[in-house]
Amino acid sequence: MTGVDFDEISCAGVSRHFGRRHAVSRVSFDAPRGTILGLLGPNGAGKSTLLAILATLLRASAGEVRYGRFDASAGPSLRARIGVLGHDLFLYPELTAFENLALFAGLYGVPGRGARARAALDSAGLADRADDPVSSLSRGMRQRVALERALIHAPRLALLDEPFTGLDDASTAALVARLGSLREGGAIVVLATHDLDVAEGLLDHAIFLREGRVVEALARPGGLRSTYRSVMGR
């Protein structure tokens, strides 16, 4: 399934509340193709909620999210162009790494799903563990399989929640290179992370969130850690 395509995503005044609690309040931003946008902020800042809204898993209580000419009502054809790496890994522990990737390749309508799954495992450096159950893999290995699952259908929009969790230095460097190649390939990458050192130099745009609100938005951000300290301390 190829799905609809789009050149940018835009959020205009997006809010989401759960009862009386405002998880996201009037967040606005645009991200064109070939962009890596970082959502930075402490726990409970609304990063994961915003990712869930962008993934069409949650509806915004107010405001609008647009994917080029489309909105979330485009349904399955829009979801075919979105890849999500959640805080949880979205993998079946009883299935092997290969079976997990082949399952999701099939569900996303990727042609030659077996070959695609093998190629993804090669790319993750896990070809020799392809037939091991996911439950037997280390946290870092599972994270790498989960990333391949999120990207198995070459999405236009990649939404990554804490993608560096559990990765060693080599795997982190490989992921940074992978995100760079996604950018070169014209993908829009939105990632929520606490890892400011890794995000430094990687992001094209940074949005600092606190209590669901945008407190700072920077293009080509540098000195993330000092900016973070400064805006969160206001």
What gap in Å lies between CA 94 and CA 113, rounded to an integer?
20
Query: Whose Cβ is closer to other proteins: residue 1's or residue 62's?
Result: 1
Q: Do 223 and 40 form a contact (C-beta atoms < 8 A)?
A: no
- CB crowding 183-193: b at 16 or more within 10 Å, else e: beeebbbbbbb
- CB crowding 62-83: b at 16 or more within 10 Å, else e: ebebebbebebebeeebbbbbb
Q: Which of 14, 80, 188, 218 binds other proteins (CB under 8 A)?
A: 80
Piece of the chain touching other proteins by CB under 8 A; list 38-46, 81-89, 205-213, 215-223: 81-89
Query: Whose Cβ is closer to other proteins: residue 77's or residue 226's?
Result: 77
- CB atoms near residue 88 (< 10 Å): 8
Q: Give the DSSP H or E segment for 79.
A: helix 76-79
Query: Whose Cβ is closer to other proteins: residue 93's or residue 186's?
Result: 93
Residue 118, CA distances (Å) to 96, 101, 127, 155, 185 in order: 12, 8, 7, 18, 21
What is the smallest separation between the CB atom of 206 and other proteins, expressed in angstroms? Answer: 25
Residues 133-152 binding other proteins (CB under 8 A) are 133, 149
Residues 93-112 binding other proteins (CB under 8 A) are 93-95, 99, 103-104, 106-109
Q: Which of 9, 11, 89, 130 binds other proteins (CB under 8 A)?
A: 89
Query: Whose Cβ is closer to other proteins: residue 88's or residue 128's?
Result: 88
What is the smallest separation between the CB atom of 190 and other proteins, expressed in angstroms? Answer: 15
Q: Does 5 bind other proteins (CB under 8 A)?
A: no
User: Quick one: which of 160, 168, 204, 164 has its CA closest to 183?
Assistant: 204
Q: Does 77 bind other proteins (CB under 8 A)?
A: yes
Q: Do 153 and 129 form a contact (C-beta atoms < 8 A)?
A: no
Q: Which of 3, 41, 163, 212 binds other proteins (CB under 8 A)?
A: 3
Interstrand relation of 8-18 and 62-67 (parallel, antiparallel or unpaired): antiparallel
What is the smallest separation between the CB atom of 2 and other proteins, expressed in angstroms? Answer: 10
List of residues contacting other proteins (CB under 8 A) = 1, 3, 55-59, 75-77, 79-80, 82, 84, 86-95, 99, 103-104, 106-109, 133, 149
